[in-house]
Amino acid sequence: MPEQKTYTGSCHCGRVKYEVKATISKVLACNCSMCGRSGTLLTFVPAADFKLLSGEDVLSDYQFHRKNIHHVFCKVCGIKSFAKGTSREGAEMRAINVRCLEGVDPLSFEVQHVDGKSF
């Protein structure tokens, strides 16, 4: 079983930086119109395990469909390194784009495919 680690993540230009505590054993590949186009590989963590270090001023928010996920992205480089939302139980969560974590090979994890087009 993988252990919880602290990772550093960022957008491409580096203005958005964060730390996240996560136990990553698999990542989700969603085929919804947003994830399918951007190629994100996701892991989810409670909001308390996520700390934005810089870049609040360059984040822009995009919502679509049910508008329950805040797809935030860097206004400078356009990279969506994380998203904000709530779990089905109502807990505040962060969806982390594992491709944006430093020193992580996102393809080293088991990939679970999710049919987001059907939601």
pLDDT at 115: 78
- Give per-residue pLDDT as tens, 27-53: 999 888 888 888 899 999 999 999 999
pLDDT at 36: 83
Domains of the chain with CATH codes: 5-118 (2.170.150.70)
* CA atoms of 85 and 100, how far apart (whole Å): 18
Q: Which two tokens stand for residue 13?
A: 């230009």
Q: Is residue 69 predicted with pLDDT exceeding 70?
A: yes
* CA atoms of 84 and 68, how far apart (whole Å): 9
Angle at 34 between CA 76 and CA 58, to 5 degrees: 20
Q: Within 13 Å of residue 102, how many CA atoms lie on the same side as its CB? A: 13
- Give per-residue pLDDT as tens, 78-114: 999 999 998 888 899 999 999 999 999 988 999 999 8
SS3 content of the chain, % helix, strand, coil (to 5): 20, 45, 40
Q: What does pTM read for this prediction?
A: 0.90
